[in-house]
Structure 1
Amino acid sequence: MKTTKRLDLAIQKLYTAFHNNTLNPECCKQCAVGNILDHTDAWKHLSDNHGSTTLNYIGMVNQKFGKTFNGYSPLELLHIEAQFLKACGYQLPLHHNNKKPKNPTDKEVLFLGLSAVVQFLCKLDNMPDVMDCNQLFQFQPQIKTSKALMLS
Structure 2
Amino acid sequence: MKTSARLEQAISKLYTAFHNNTLNPECCKSCAVGNILDNTDTWKHLTEGHGSLNLTYVGKVNEAFGRKLNGYSPLELLKIEAAFLSGCGYKLPLSRKNRDSINRSSKEVMFNGMCAAVAILCELDDVANVMDFSKLFDFKEDKPVYELSF
Is the structural similarity TM-score above 0.5? yes
Kindly provide the amino acid, as one letter, of the partner of residue 56 in structure 1: T
Contact residue 34 and residue 41 of structure 1 kept, 8 A: yes
CA RMSD of the aligned region, Å? 1.6
Residue 76 of structure 1 aligns to which amino acid in structure 2?
E
Q: How does 1:81-96 map to 2 (within 5 A)?
A: 81-96=81-96
* Range that drifts further, 89-98 or 29-38: 89-98
Give SS of 1:97's match.
helix
Most deviating of 58-67 and 95-104: 95-104
| Residue in 1 that maps onto 2:63 | 63
State the aligned residue count.
Answer: 140
Structure number with bigger Rg = 1
Deviation, 1:138, is 6.6
Instruction: Describe the shift of the 1:126–1:138 C-alpha distance in structure 2 as closer, same or farther (beyond 3 A).
Output: farther
Q: How does 1:2-151 map to 2 (within 5 A)?
A: 2-98=2-98, 101-135=101-135, 137=136, 139=138
The 3 A distance-change label for structure 1 pair 104 and 64 is same
Instruction: Give the direction of change, closer, same or farther, for the CA distance of 1:7–1:101 in structure 2 (3 Å limit).
Output: farther
Kindly indicate whether the alpha-carbon contact (under 8 Å) linking 2:83 and 2:116 is maintained by their aligned counterparts in 1: yes
> 1:94 and 1:123 mapped to 2: Cα distance?
23
Question: What is the percent sequence identity of the aligned residues?
Answer: 60
In structure 2, stretches of 5+ residues that fail to align are 141-150
Bigger shift: residues 88-97 or 53-62: 88-97
Counterpart amino acid of 1:129? N
* 3-state SS in 1 of match to 2:129: coil
Structure 1's 12 and 54: CA in aligned 2 closer, same or farther, altered over 3 A?
Answer: same
- Please tell me whether the aligned partners of residues 88 and 101 of structure 1 are also in contact (alpha carbons under 8 angstroms): no
Please report how far the alpha carbon of residue 100 of structure 1 lies from its aligned counterpart in structure 2 after TM superposition: 5.2
Tell me if the contact between 1:23 and 1:105 (Cα under 8 Å) persists in the aligned partners: no
Q: Alpha-carbon deviations, 1:31-67, whole Å to 9, x = none?
A: 0000000000000000121110000100000000000
Aligned to 1:148: none
Provide the C-alpha distance between the structure 2 equivalents of 1:130 and 1:25, rounded to a whole number of angstroms. Answer: 22
Asked whether the 8 Å contact 2:32–2:81 carries over to 1, the reply is yes
Q: Unaligned stretches of 5+ in structure 1?
A: 142-152
Residue type of the alignment partner of 1:27 = C
* Aligned structure 1 segments of 4 or more residues deviating by more than 4 angstroms: none
TM-score scaled by length of structure 1: 0.87
